[in-house]
């Protein structure tokens, strides 16, 4: 039987994997959206650095700052009753300097009240992960397409299609588990490779564009809800068309204001 978790913790996610229950995860960056997702029963909420694209309109995730991530994360945390909240450490706040990584993670935990952090990369950031874990902060890993490295990759295309990169990915996934990460996001990699990694690891593997044979799925909520219309990767399933709903509602409001049919007598004091 599916176990009901009153509050989802990193241990709950491990239990879900052990019980074969898939983990549901979505992004949120503000109070109102987080409240809706949590109320609907989502297991985990990622305050992703995709806020840089979705909230701020930047082309990449690189510009968002640690202060901005803390602002988004604290807004989300205030809305949550049940879900586990994971916050991305933004670009430049942890790479190449484990003391700075620790400082950044501690600021996120202290100033936002979130439950864990996520970092992109494998062996090259292991020292930073060790330092953060030593402070008692749970860490989620992120491998495959890691958008903070977009200028190294040059494109957002599927990763690890060649044997050498697939091998490195497998080694990094093992290393993140051995280092102590509680879970791993795998982004845009072949489904067969993701399946092999999920079967080899005891920690949960949460996929985005990684096929069905992983331990859970994550999407950017604005993509799934059809708010961002121009982003159409193969892995995205749209569950709503909010852009049409918002546009039509706005057009109707404008029409009513212009024709003076809003507000009516009942809507006035
Ligand atoms: O920032 C983000 O939204 C992410 C997900 C795409 C996994 O890292």
Q: Which residues are catalytic, by number?
A: 187
Q: How far away, in angstroms, is 216 Cα from ligand 1 center?
A: 14
Q: Whose CA is nearest to atom 2 of ligand 1?
A: 48
pLDDT of residue 1: 59
Mutational pocket test of ligand 1: of 91, 148, 185, 216, the residue with most ligand atoms within 8 Å of the beta carbon: 185
Among 50, 87, 187, which residue has the most ligand 1 atoms within 8 Å of its CB, making it the best to mutate? 50
pLDDT tens per residue across span 201-233: 999 999 999 999 999 999 999 999 999 988 999
Q: Name the CATH superfamily, with its identifier, for domain 10-238.
A: Phosphoenolpyruvate-binding domains (3.20.20.60)
Ligand 1 centroid from CA 254, angstroms: 35
Look at residue 5 in the predicted model and tell me its pLDDT: 84
Domain ranges of the chain: 10-238, 241-269
136-177 pLDDT, tens digit each: 999 999 999 999 999 999 999 999 999 999 999 999 999 999
CA of 265 to the centre of ligand 1 (A): 47
Report residues whose beta carbon is within 6 angstroms of any ligand 1 atom. Answer: 27, 46, 48-50, 88, 185, 187, 208, 218, 220
| CA distances to 50, 75, 89, 150 from 61, in Å | 6, 19, 11, 9
Pick out the chain residues at pLDDT < 70.
Answer: 1
Q: Give dist(CA 142, CA 140) in Å, integer.
A: 7
């Amino acid at each position: 039987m599916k176990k009901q978790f009153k509050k989802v913790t990193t241990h709950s996610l491990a239990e879900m994997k052990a019980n074969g229950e898939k983990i549901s995860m979505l992004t949120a960056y503000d109070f109102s959206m987080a409240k809706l997702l949590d109320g609907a029963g989502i297991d985990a909420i990622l305050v992703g650095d995709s806020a840089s694209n979705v909230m701020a309109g930047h082309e990449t995730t690189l510009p968002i700052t640690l202060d901005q991530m803390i602002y988004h994360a604290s807004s989300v945390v205030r809305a949550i009753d049940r879900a586990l909240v994971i916050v991305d450490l933004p670009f430049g706040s942890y790479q190449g300097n484990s003391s700075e990584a620790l400082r950044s993670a501690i600021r996120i935990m202290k100033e936002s009240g979130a439950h864990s952090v996520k970092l992109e990369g494998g062996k090259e950031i292991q020292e930073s992960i060790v330092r953060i874990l030593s402070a008692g902060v749970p860490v989620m890993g992120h491998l495959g397409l890691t958008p903070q490295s977009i200028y190294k990759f040059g494109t957002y295309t599927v990763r690890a299609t060649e044997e050498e990169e697939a091998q490195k990915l497998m080694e990094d996934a093992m290393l993140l588990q051995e280092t102590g990460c509680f879970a791993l996001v795998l982004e845009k990699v072949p489904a067969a490779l993701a399946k092999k990694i999920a079967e080899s690891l005891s920690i949960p593997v949460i996929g985005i564009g990684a096929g069905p044979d992983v331990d859970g799925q994550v999407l950017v909520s604005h993509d799934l809800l059809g708010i961002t219309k121009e982003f159409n990767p193969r892995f995205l399933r749209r569950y709503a068309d909010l852009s049409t709903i918002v546009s039509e509602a706005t057009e109707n409001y404008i029409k009513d204001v212009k024709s003076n049919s809003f507000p009516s007598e009942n809507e006035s004091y």
